[in-house]
Chain A
Amino acid sequence: MSAPVGPTKPSSSSWVLVAVAWTLVGIPLAWGIYRTLRTAVKIF
């Protein structure tokens, strides 16, 4: 069996990429949730 790979911390610049990636999937998801919420409030 291969030895476990030593833990390495993510580079600080990688967090910018993380923010960009999450924004790219987050915007359409937030839009979809907003549209659904607008329909859902009709029950109240």
Chain B
Amino acid sequence: MAGLLAKERIIAAPGFNRWLVPPAALAIHLSIGMAYGFSVFWLPLSRAIGITQSAPDDWKISTLGVMYSLFFVFLGSSAAVFGRWVEREGPRKTGVVAAFCWGGGFFISALGVYIHQIWLLWIGSGVIGGCGLGLGYISPVSTLIKWFPDRRGMATGMAIMGFGGGAMIGSPLADILMRHYATPTSVGVWETFVTMGAIYLVAMLCGAFGYRVPPDGWRPAGWTPPAQRSAMITTRHVHVSRAWRTPQFWLLFTVLWMNVSAGIGVIGMASPMLQEVFGGKLIGAAGALKDLLGDQRAQVATIGAGFAALLSLFNIAGRIFWASMSDYLGRKPTYFVFFALGIVLYAFAPSAGRIGSVPLFAAVFCVIISMYGGGFATIPAYIADLFGTRFVGAIHGRVLLAWSAAGILGPTLVNKLREYQLAHGVPAAQAYNTTMYILVGLLVIGLVANLAVKPVAEEHYMTDAELEAERRLAHEAGAAR
């Protein structure tokens, strides 16, 4: 008898409703998406000993911030390393492992907070949790693409939207829990970690056990593959070990790297840019930000927080909108829009500031961020179109290393450029302009890479014999029932 988690155990019976798979994927992505919201813990953790204010032995926020680097390095590397295992063992086993890594990471971190050992937080949430992020992120991709051959973009967009939305649920929930658990001797973080770890463990296990894979060759009722397919959509398959040797792999890697680097750069500076550029105008007062009084600055900061929240909404909306649009436009034209429109909007953003219109400025950044989210959500379908569906999860896992690379390039570029300009006497509000123009340069590289994408050469596709061997390896022989 096949194990409870085995791939052959979760092949859908006739009559299974494919619309049950996206909520299962969402349960996992909404849980791991909390990675974006971890900064909600930094301030309370920076006074875990002092409680009301930081004590000398308390952790610094910069020390805690290492967690973000660990998240994204281990997300990318675990997705790349374990991608093939994910394809072989199927989404349920992957989802369960991801649940124990992510939920278990919270428990280890709780212990780390309780005995005040930062390395336990880094290992628990950063390394083990980071592996949970990578496995959880790619776990539904291949399955969703096989269930929705008619709407690949929309299907993966729904799941990846969840990753963008996870912090929207997790951050306020963490805030509520920390207030609930706070006592005169505890800031309430370790108790919150235990509670959230348990919630995420259960939610992700529910998602993992909700996964079903379609029988080989399944297609939706009433849908027949178009007789004349675009040359950019293959019906064949490239093996993951061969995919990264093709120019298409590196072109897609560059496309994602540049789109995400530029997006991360903008996310970090959008809210401070709004506050610096408009200053007192945001609250109907005269003067630049540096001239405002304490309470006026606080009001401007509140508006800045509102702007950041607005951007996060466009981030998740962009994921489902652009990924769904790509089903109609095609993947390559969709990325063309991201880069071409992105170049125009990034270049125009400083002018929008100079014009002095807050709504126009906000609208520019909302569209930019929607395309950042859209880039994440559209890439799995782009990979499936070019390399086939057989190894899409594993290849996606390797392409996600571009995300880790972007996590280094984007913020470094923005921060170093800003420091350099400020050191050379450029006014704070103007220092952003040059940065935006540099980010335009990244988008131009992405545009060129996307334009260079062509169908994969014939020699890279798997033969029927190779496919059959892979099916046997993936426990699929004789499994259809």
Query: CB distance A43 to B221 under 8 Å?
Result: no
Determine the chain A residues whose CB is within 8 A of the CB of B220 once the complex forms: 7
| CB atoms of A43 and B23 under 8 A apart | no
Interchain CB contact under 8 A, B16 and A10: yes
Mark out the residues of chain A between 1 and 20 whose CB falls within 8 Å of any chain B CB in the assembled complex.
1-5, 7-11, 14-15, 17-18
Q: Is B117 an interface residue (CB 8 A)?
A: no
Residues from chain A with Cβ under 8 Å of B27 in the complex? 24-25
- Find chain B residues with CB under 8 A from A5 CB: 214-219, 480
Please give, as numbers and ranges, the residues of chain B lying within 8 Å of A33 by CB-CB distance: 165, 168, 313
| Complex: chain A residue closest to B464, CB-CB | A1
Chain A residue nearest to B302 (CB atoms) is: A42
Tell me the nearest residue of chain A to B305, going by C-beta. Answer: A39
Are A42 and B15 in touch, CB under 8 angstroms? Answer: no
Q: Pick the contact of B30 from A9, A22, A25 — CB < 8 Å?
A: A25
Tell whether A29 pairs with B26 under 8 Å between CB atoms, given A8-B15, A9-B15, A39-B306: yes
The majority secondary structure among interface residues of chain A is helix
Q: How far is the CB of A41 from chain B (nearest CB, A)?
A: 7
* B222 (CB) vs chain A CBs: closest residue: A7
Which residues does chain B contribute within 8 Å of A40, judged by CB atoms?
Answer: 306-307, 309-310, 313
Residues of B within 8 A of A37 (CB): 309, 313
- Counting chain B CB atoms within 10 Å of each CB, the highest count among A10, A11, A32, A33 belongs to A32
* B389 interfacial by beta-carbon distance below 8 Å: no
B226 at the interface (CB under 8 A from A): no
Bound-complex Cα distance A10 to B221 (A): 9
Given A29-B165, A32-B168, A21-B30 contact (CB < 8 Å) = no
Q: Are A42 and B305 in contact (CB under 8 A)?
A: yes
Report the bound CA distance from A5 to B15 in whole Å.
12
Measured between alpha carbons, how far is A13 from B303 in the docked complex, in Å? Answer: 48
B409 within 8 A of A: no
Q: Does B66 contact A (CB under 8 A)?
A: no
- Are A10 and B18 neighbours in the complex by a CB distance under 8 Å? yes
B15 and A14 within 8 A (CB): yes
Say how far A5's CB is from chain B's closest CB, in angstroms: 5
In this assembly, does B3 line the interface, its C-beta being within 8 Å of a C-beta of chain A? no
* Interchain nearest-CB distance for B163 vs A (Å): 12
Which of A3, A24, A25 has its CB near the most chain B CB atoms (within 10 A)? A25
Across-interface contacts of B20 in A (CB, < 8 A): 14, 17-18, 21
User: If the complex has contacts A32-B168, A40-B310, A42-B305, are A2 and B217 also in contact, measured as CB distance less than 8 A?
Assistant: yes
0 or 1 for each of B131-146: is its CB under 8 Å from A? (1 = yes): 0000000000000000
In the complex, chain A residues whose CB is within 8 Å of the CB of B26: 25, 29
Q: Is B333 an interface residue (CB 8 A)?
A: no
Whether A25 lies near B23 (C-beta < 8 A) is yes
Within 8 A of A (CB), among B150-191: 162, 165, 168-170, 172
CB-nearest residue of chain A to B217: A4
* CB-defined contacts of B468 to chain A, threshold 8 Å: 1
Residues on A with C-beta less than 8 A from B169 are 28-29, 31-32
Partner of A21, one of B168, B210, B219: B210
Q: Are A7 and B221 in contact, CB atoms less than 8 angstroms apart?
A: yes
Chain B nearest Cβ from A42, distance in angstroms: 3
Name A29's closest neighbour in chain B (CB-CB).
Answer: B165
Which B-chain residue is minimally distant from A35 (CB atoms)?
B172
Known: A17-B17, A21-B20. A43 touches B362 (CB 8 A): yes
A4-B218, A29-B165 known; A18+B19 contact, CB < 8 A: yes
For window 269-289 of chain B, which residues contact chain A by CB distance below 8 Å? none
26 contacts between A and B (CB under 8 A): A2-B217, A5-B216, A5-B217, A5-B219, A11-B15, A18-B19, A18-B23, A21-B20, A21-B24, A24-B23, A24-B206, A25-B27, A25-B162, A28-B169, A29-B26, A29-B30, A29-B162, A32-B170, A36-B168, A36-B309, A40-B310, A42-B302, A42-B306, A43-B303, A43-B307, A43-B358
Where the two chains meet, the residues of B that have a C-beta atom closer than 8 Å to any C-beta of A are: 14-20, 23-24, 26-27, 30, 162, 165, 168-170, 172, 206, 210, 214-223, 302-303, 305-307, 309-310, 312-313, 358, 362, 464, 467-468, 480
Residues of A participating in the B interface, judged by any CB pair closer than 8 Å: 1-5, 7-11, 14-15, 17-18, 21-22, 24-25, 28-29, 31-33, 35-37, 39-43
Given contacts A15-B17, A18-B20, 19 further A-B contacts (CB under 8 A): A1-B464, A1-B467, A1-B468, A2-B217, A5-B214, A5-B215, A7-B223, A9-B15, A14-B16, A21-B20, A22-B23, A25-B26, A25-B27, A29-B30, A32-B170, A33-B168, A36-B312, A39-B305, A43-B303
Q: Sorted from nearest, which 3 A-B pairs have the closest CB atoms?
A: A32-B168, A42-B306, A14-B17
